Amino acid sequence: MRPSQRAVDQLRDIQIERNFTCHAEGSVLISIGRTRVLCTATIEESVPRFLRGKGQGWITAEYGMLPRSTHTRMGREAARGKQQGRTVEIQRLIGRSLRAMIDLKKLGERQITIDCDVLQADGGTRCAAITGAAIAVVDALNRLQRDKRLKEDPVIGMMSAISVGVYKGTPVLDLDYDEDSSADTDMNVIALEGKGLVEIQGTAEGEVFDRSQLNLLLDLAETGTQALFDAQRAALAQG
Amino acid sequence: MRPSQRAVDQLRDIQIERNFTCHAEGSVLISIGRTRVLCTATIEESVPRFLRGKGQGWITAEYGMLPRSTHTRMGREAARGKQQGRTVEIQRLIGRSLRAMIDLKKLGERQITIDCDVLQADGGTRCAAITGAAIAVVDALNRLQRDKRLKEDPVIGMMSAISVGVYKGTPVLDLDYDEDSSADTDMNVIALEGKGLVEIQGTAEGEVFDRSQLNLLLDLAETGTQALFDAQRAALAQG
Amino acid sequence: MRPSQRAVDQLRDIQIERNFTCHAEGSVLISIGRTRVLCTATIEESVPRFLRGKGQGWITAEYGMLPRSTHTRMGREAARGKQQGRTVEIQRLIGRSLRAMIDLKKLGERQITIDCDVLQADGGTRCAAITGAAIAVVDALNRLQRDKRLKEDPVIGMMSAISVGVYKGTPVLDLDYDEDSSADTDMNVIALEGKGLVEIQGTAEGEVFDRSQLNLLLDLAETGTQALFDAQRAALAQG
Amino acid sequence: MRPSQRAVDQLRDIQIERNFTCHAEGSVLISIGRTRVLCTATIEESVPRFLRGKGQGWITAEYGMLPRSTHTRMGREAARGKQQGRTVEIQRLIGRSLRAMIDLKKLGERQITIDCDVLQADGGTRCAAITGAAIAVVDALNRLQRDKRLKEDPVIGMMSAISVGVYKGTPVLDLDYDEDSSADTDMNVIALEGKGLVEIQGTAEGEVFDRSQLNLLLDLAETGTQALFDAQRAALAQG
Amino acid sequence: MRPSQRAVDQLRDIQIERNFTCHAEGSVLISIGRTRVLCTATIEESVPRFLRGKGQGWITAEYGMLPRSTHTRMGREAARGKQQGRTVEIQRLIGRSLRAMIDLKKLGERQITIDCDVLQADGGTRCAAITGAAIAVVDALNRLQRDKRLKEDPVIGMMSAISVGVYKGTPVLDLDYDEDSSADTDMNVIALEGKGLVEIQGTAEGEVFDRSQLNLLLDLAETGTQALFDAQRAALAQG
Amino acid sequence: MRPSQRAVDQLRDIQIERNFTCHAEGSVLISIGRTRVLCTATIEESVPRFLRGKGQGWITAEYGMLPRSTHTRMGREAARGKQQGRTVEIQRLIGRSLRAMIDLKKLGERQITIDCDVLQADGGTRCAAITGAAIAVVDALNRLQRDKRLKEDPVIGMMSAISVGVYKGTPVLDLDYDEDSSADTDMNVIALEGKGLVEIQGTAEGEVFDRSQLNLLLDLAETGTQALFDAQRAALAQG
């Protein structure tokens, strides 16, 4: 039995609020259960030095947690003068993944900077961040197209991410903090709609896992990413 | 005429949402017009080294802006490894002010850490932060009293803060970004309800100011801080 | 009774030594009682990036305390790899104030960098720094004019700064360290000669203050800044 | 056809030199083709603060590349004052993996610090680092047992790591730099001998991947980790 | 002919002002020609961690240049967040040298922290710093003895330092900036009065040097350090 | 009697392995007894900003110790975000010395970056680094000449470095760690073959030294640097 009473293949409630803030080209507040992440997309008309003159764009991402998004207060990274290893790892993952949903040639010499800031954390923040940021990217690119600054839509497909894991011996979908902190295996799966997998990261926190468990986890993840694609589409259909 | 069509002594709309996030002992999202700041208060049962064994508590504050809370994206301070001078100046002001609303002896050997994170900026973020944080402090202290961990209420009085300035030659209340960026004089006034002034900081950005202008600005500020005290009381009366 | 036996409106002894060091375009050692600050002005024939091509100049300031300028040794900021919040706050104040004494258009595309280094501290270092730096700026600009590199004098007026405060219930002028560390209210006032006020920063350290106290403090400050203008003029009249 | 003419399931030459340096408790120079990593294990008789008094040990890892281990010189991280994101990500992976090969309770309140320094890089440095470090850990623990400081052997099983990927449409084992820089999918697989998988990290760099490709890659990885277990055993059997 | 018209073995004018600032236990402003360095000695009743409980004291030093002590302004190290390599090298030299003039056992478990801050630079700042700091140390220790906190005088002997070099083919004593910037060989010699040499650092900046030149330079340095010992003694004899 | 049983003028065994790694233009692993340093030389076709357009080249050096190159593990400088003072001092010495063996005009507008990384430390690492790096520089320049990118050989002469010191009252050559840690005087001597001395740095760690001891130490150093020149020549004669 899961602490939240959910079925093994049941996602938490999903809420997606577009245009949560007014300045960014894309701004999405995504809630997956109690996990809430503000994802903004900023368009800049230039690319990093290593890409100049190559006729393609770039997507980069930064991630942060507000100090009291967690049960006990975490030190503010800006005050400590350093991002933690976990932060660096997550923001690299977000940027790498989102680059796979865009045809960077069609984007042109522009950069999209994603900011994912966790307002409230209850497990699965990196997956929520990717799922929310994908919508913010689409909103930002739609604005570029409305403004006639982009000829072709560079979106290859929608992207979503979900965690799966082995909790008390049972594979389950969408771990919350209580489950995550005692799971044996924890895996994040990122999918591109209608195409396939973009990234899988599975870690044995306690017991090792075998190929058959891996397959069960990937089945669950497929259920989860499909449900997220539906939620993303529903959100984008509004206004 | 003000860009927002407001009267010279008219505040922007105020919205105060308590318990905006679930982990902090106090958590307030305050909106003053389009300026939105999330203020949390965290209670820790220890004090900084310089106060150990002195039988009193402490309040400290940290301030940050989400990178895309502003018109154009600001670099993330955590990524640059350094807080900007403006950030440092503001968080020192917030901490210093809030310490004046609390009897630190009655607080006992505890520290309250305030985090003020700007989700959306449109002028007056430091004043909104102080006004919102004052409520978060009260909520956190009420929780301590309900839990019988505090015998006496350490709150001396409610605190609010407002900006005033000389815009195109006219003293006005509660400057938004458009006004702030072209004002001649900009002043922040922090008041303790029923007591008096805690801090005034007035700066001539363009033309210098004289004593009579200063008096007009302080009159406006009194109007503003009174309205904010009313809004704070109304918010605290709920739930 | 003040610890120094001074009258409530009595400044400490003022000494101003121009050309204290030989390399800087302006170099002033100012002593206000035991507080001694070395202020230098450096002219550079370029402006920060954000001002390039705008046909105006800039003034910026840096502030530091020698580690043993104080009663007990402070850690060296260069060794700790970080300027303290107080340092950042003060150097922003110095730069902002001095920009108000200069017509930046007339300065042309040049930057003046002010360095204020406290050799010995006994309260009021930021006010001494501004008062001394104003002279160093004038010396540096006079040199530019003698060298025919400036056509018009960009100085709008002389600038001085003084602290006032409420010490044991009585408003007093020019607080030394003993007074400052136990004052209820502490205010710094910066004035432009013959024009008006450039900045006021008043903080209730203990008891709050009201409008009538504020007016008494501003009266004292006017006495103080006038006396400093006289001392500046006398110093500039020499050689 | 692979640039190195290897068969799709063919590892590069493996050389393992134990006791490469004399001070560390375990010191292994591992060469996988031209990739050479020096892995040392240091035993300290204390644990990090968060584990004190919990009766268990800890393993942590640090990773670095010598500036000219690569084709063109990389800036020295110590000189830049910051480890790169990639470095942080890799050292977290190494530490997390190696903790899975040890019963931390049996280790007792000790910490093993792994240092993996890349002397020469040609792809697969993180996998070589884990495979080499596993031997250094065993050497260090054997020394502890010889010295009668450990009663029970805390090693759960041998650990090895290998990269697999889709190169020009074909799944291949053990990518070198030429293959890695143009592979569509790149996956690192870490296995615990006789138990199962400890970590998999697969990333679509170009085309996405599907479940059947994933299975082919995992088959290859099994071949690779088995061959590495053999090489580790052979190395440990010497002297 | 030297630019300053001095004889090859002629020092610049030496001025030593004790008690230049009022808070430090020892405070000396030393001027060697136009080079002026403020040297303070601070006594702390504790030692660094690595010496605790060993019954001996320690001397450490920090060095800095005010930004406009030089011809063109140098960036402030505190603002850049990092001490330059040259600074680090010099402060290590100062600390190491001064430890040789004190019997650290007799000092007891105390630390003397030396701060050498260059107010004006014209070559030879590190030698001036050591020569001035030696006096500040003696003043600080005399105060400890007057206060009965030290039983025995821990001073082994007076210490002075001087630069020598080969300028346009001729060995000369006490290089100023003009000579230093074009000298072939530059050597700093530090001597303990009546004992011998504590440190020599000779560098060929242009042409290499041979043993006979080295001997001529050491002869000059002996003249210089003797004259400095006389100046130190004269300064200490006053008040 | 020396701990290693060596004669007072006896060097440790010298081994020089060229082309130790494959990417660098010059790559030398030098072993002086148990001290082992990997020295690489990287050629870049540009010079630092301060030399642009001056028609000359530059040599700079960086130095590091692997964390477990020493008896007990040292913290990794990259992880601490700062190079230690000793590191900075050594890398400045290496760069300054090597610049004296090259005619920088003949090098043209190129920079050679030397990396000296200590794999195993047993005293004398900075001297081993210089001696090894000199060979790496020659290898890198020979490659430039073979590639017809350099017309004239810019090497002025071979360079070697050795430590000498007073150990238990006796001057000895080439101190190992056991001797170094208890020597009274420690001196590093750097020589240019057939020319003379480039740098001497002598420090009294315990007892001061006099001119006659200095001369004995310099005699020993001459023996040592000659033997190192022979070893360098022999290494360069191979392949």
Q: Tell me the percentage of chain A whose pLDDT exceeds 70.
A: 100
List, in sequence order, every beta strand (DSSP E) within F98-182: 111-120, 159-167, 170-173
Instruction: List the single best residue of F19, F23, F36, F111 to mutate versus D (max D Cβ within 10 A).
Output: F23
Does the annotation flag E86 for ligand binding?
yes
Task: Give all chains having 3 or more CB-to-CB distances under 8 Å with chain C.
Answer: B, E
The average pLDDT across C111-131 equals: 98
Which positions ≥6 away from D172 have C-beta within 8 Å? D2, D6, D8, D9, D164, D165, D166, D179, D220
Q: How confident is the model at residue C206 (pLDDT cuts 50, 70, 90)?
A: confident
How many inter-chain contacts (A to B, CB under 8 Å) are there?
Answer: 94
pLDDT of residue B236: 97
Residue C219: name the closest of C177, C171, C175, C158 by CA.
C171
Whether residues D208 and A100 touch (CB distance < 8 A) is answered with yes
Angle at D159 between CA D156 and CA D161, to 5 degrees: 160
pLDDT of residue B1: 82
- Please state, in angstroms and as integers, the Cα–Cα distance from residue E110 to each residue in A146, E62, E132, E144, following that order: 72, 17, 21, 11
Whether residues B69 and A23 touch (CB distance < 8 A) is answered with yes
Which residues of B are less than 8 Å from C218 in CB distance? 211, 214
Which residues of D are less than 8 Å from F44 in CB distance? 73
C200 → closest Cβ in B82, B88, B202: B202
Whether residues D82 and F78 touch (CB distance < 8 A) is answered with yes
Q: Is the pLDDT of residue C5 over 80?
A: yes
pLDDT of residue D31: 98
Rounded to whole angstroms, the Cα distance separating A95 from A112 reads: 10
Structure confidence by residue, pLDDT tens digits, C6-25: 999 999 999 999 999 999 99
Residue that wins the pLDDT comparison between A151 and C123:
C123
Q: How confident is the model at residue B215 (pLDDT cuts 50, 70, 90)?
A: very high
Q: Is the pLDDT of residue E126 over 80?
A: yes
Which residues of A are less than 8 Å from B24 in CB distance? 68, 73
A115 → closest Cβ in B67, B87, B121: B67
Q: Is the pLDDT of residue E206 over 90?
A: no
The average pLDDT across A163-172 equals: 96
The average pLDDT across B79-97 equals: 95
pLDDT of residue A1: 82
Structure confidence by residue, pLDDT tens digits, E66-84: 999 999 999 999 999 999 9
Percentages of chain F per state (helix, strand, coil), in multiples of 5: 35, 30, 35
Which positions ≥6 away from A5 have C-beta within 8 Å? none
Q: Which two tokens stand for residue D62?
A: 């640090």
| φ, ψ for residue D202, nearest 5 deg | -120, 135
Mean pLDDT (chain F, rounded): 96
The residue to which tokens 């580790």 are assigned: D232
pLDDT of residue B205: 83
Structure confidence by residue, pLDDT tens digits, D12-24: 999 999 999 999 9
Structure confidence by residue, pLDDT tens digits, A198-221: 999 999 988 899 999 999 999 999
The average pLDDT across C121-135 equals: 98
The C-alpha of D191 sits at a distance from chain F's nearest C-alpha, in angstroms, of 27
Rounded to whole angstroms, the Cα distance separating B110 from B102 reads: 12
Q: Is the pLDDT of residue C103 over 80?
A: yes
Whether residues F201 and E196 touch (CB distance < 8 A) is answered with no
Q: How confident is the model at residue F222 (pLDDT cuts 50, 70, 90)?
A: very high
Bridge partners (DSSP) of residue D102 are D155
The average pLDDT across C135-164 equals: 96
The C-alpha of C120 sits at a distance from chain B's nearest C-alpha, in angstroms, of 24
Residue E196: name the closest of E234, E156, E165 by CA.
E156
Structure confidence by residue, pLDDT tens digits, C158-192: 999 999 999 999 999 999 999 999 999 999 999 99
Angle at F23 between CA F19 and CA F27, to 5 degrees: 30
E67 → closest Cβ in C44, C82, C115: C115
Whether residues F76 and D119 touch (CB distance < 8 A) is answered with no
Whether residues C214 and B197 touch (CB distance < 8 A) is answered with yes
Q: How confident is the model at residue E10 (pLDDT cuts 50, 70, 90)?
A: very high
Bridge partners (DSSP) of residue F43 are F112
Does the annotation flag F126 for ligand binding?
yes
Q: Is the pLDDT of residue C51 over 90?
A: yes
> Is residue A107 within 8 Å of residue A156, measured between CB atoms?
no
Whether residues E201 and F196 touch (CB distance < 8 A) is answered with no
Whether residues A88 and D91 touch (CB distance < 8 A) is answered with no
Closest chain D residue by Cα to residue A186: D199
Residue B197: name the closest of C214, C190, C163, C175 by CA.
C214
Interface of E with F (CB under 8 A): 82, 85-86, 88-89, 91-92, 96, 100, 192, 195-204, 208-211, 214, 218
Q: Which two tokens stand for residue F195?
A: 């020319």
Q: Is the pLDDT of residue A239 over 80?
A: no
Which residues of A are less than 8 Å from D88 in CB distance? 85, 88-89
The average pLDDT across F103-122 equals: 97
Which residues of C are less than 8 Å from B166 in CB distance? none
Bridge partners (DSSP) of residue B192 are B159, B196
Angle at F169 between CA F163 and CA F173, to 5 degrees: 25
Strand E58-65 relative to strand E111-120, pairing: parallel
F89 → closest Cβ in E89, E202, E203: E89
Whether residues C202 and B204 touch (CB distance < 8 A) is answered with no
Rounded to whole angstroms, the Cα distance separating B11 from E19 reads: 57
Residue B24: name the closest of B140, B108, B144 by CA.
B140
Strand D35-44 relative to strand D111-120, pairing: antiparallel
Q: Which domains does chain A have, with CATH numbers?
A: 14-237 (3.30.230.70)
pLDDT of residue C33: 98
Q: How confident is the model at residue E52 (pLDDT cuts 50, 70, 90)?
A: very high
Structure confidence by residue, pLDDT tens digits, C58-97: 999 999 999 999 999 999 999 999 999 999 999 999 999 9
Which residues of E are less than 8 Å from C78 in CB distance? 64, 76-78, 82-83, 87
Interface of D with F (CB under 8 A): 21-24, 27, 34, 36, 38, 40, 42, 44, 62, 64, 66-71, 73, 76-79, 81-83, 87, 113, 115, 117, 119-121
Angle at D74 between CA D72 and CA D78, to 5 degrees: 160
In the annotated binding site of D for phosphate, the residues are 86, 124-126
Which residues of D are less than 8 Å from F83 in CB distance? 78-79
C66 → closest Cβ in E67, E117, E121: E117
Which residues of F are less than 8 Å from E220 in CB distance? none
Interface of F with D (CB under 8 A): 21-24, 27, 34, 36, 38, 40, 42, 44, 62, 64, 66-71, 73, 76-79, 81-83, 87, 113, 115, 117, 119-121
The average pLDDT across E3-26 equals: 97
pLDDT of residue A206: 81
Whether residues F23 and D69 touch (CB distance < 8 A) is answered with yes
Sign of CA dihedral E222, E227, E233, E235: negative
Residue B218: name the closest of C184, C206, C218 by CA.
C218
The residue to which tokens 């590639």 are assigned: F147
Structure confidence by residue, pLDDT tens digits, B114-134: 999 999 999 999 999 999 999
Which residues of A are less than 8 Å from B76 in CB distance? 62, 64, 78, 115
Whether residues D100 and A199 touch (CB distance < 8 A) is answered with no
Does the annotation flag F224 for ligand binding?
no
Q: Is the pLDDT of residue A144 over 80?
A: yes
pLDDT of residue C170: 95
> Is residue E92 within 8 Å of residue F89, measured between CB atoms?
yes
Does the annotation flag C110 for ligand binding?
no
Whether residues D68 and F44 touch (CB distance < 8 A) is answered with no
Look up residue C29 and give its amino acid.
L
Which residues of A are less than 8 Å from D204 in CB distance? 100, 196-199
Rounded to whole angstroms, the Cα distance separating E37 from B230 reads: 59
pLDDT of residue D1: 82
**Euclidean distance between the first and final Cα of chain E, in Å?**
39
One digit per residue, the tens of pLDDT, for chain D of length 239 reads 899 999 999 999 999 999 999 999 999 999 999 999 999 999 999 999 999 999 999 999 999 999 999 999 999 999 999 999 999 999 999 999 999 999 999 999 999 999 999 999 999 999 999 999 999 999 999 999 999 999 899 999 999 999 999 999 999 999 999 999 999 999 999 999 999 999 999 999 888 999 999 999 999 999 999 999 999 999 999 97
Q: How confident is the model at residue C113 (pLDDT cuts 50, 70, 90)?
A: very high
Instruction: List the single best residue of B159, B208, B213 to mutate versus C (max C Cβ within 10 A).
Output: B208
Whether residues B196 and C202 touch (CB distance < 8 A) is answered with no
The C-alpha of F199 sits at a distance from chain E's nearest C-alpha, in angstroms, of 4
Q: Is A49 exposed, middle or buried (0-12, 13-18, 19+ CB in 10 A)?
A: exposed
Interface of C with B (CB under 8 A): 82, 85-86, 88-89, 91-92, 96, 100, 192, 195-204, 208-211, 214-215, 218
The C-alpha of F204 sits at a distance from chain E's nearest C-alpha, in angstroms, of 5
The average pLDDT across A30-48 equals: 97
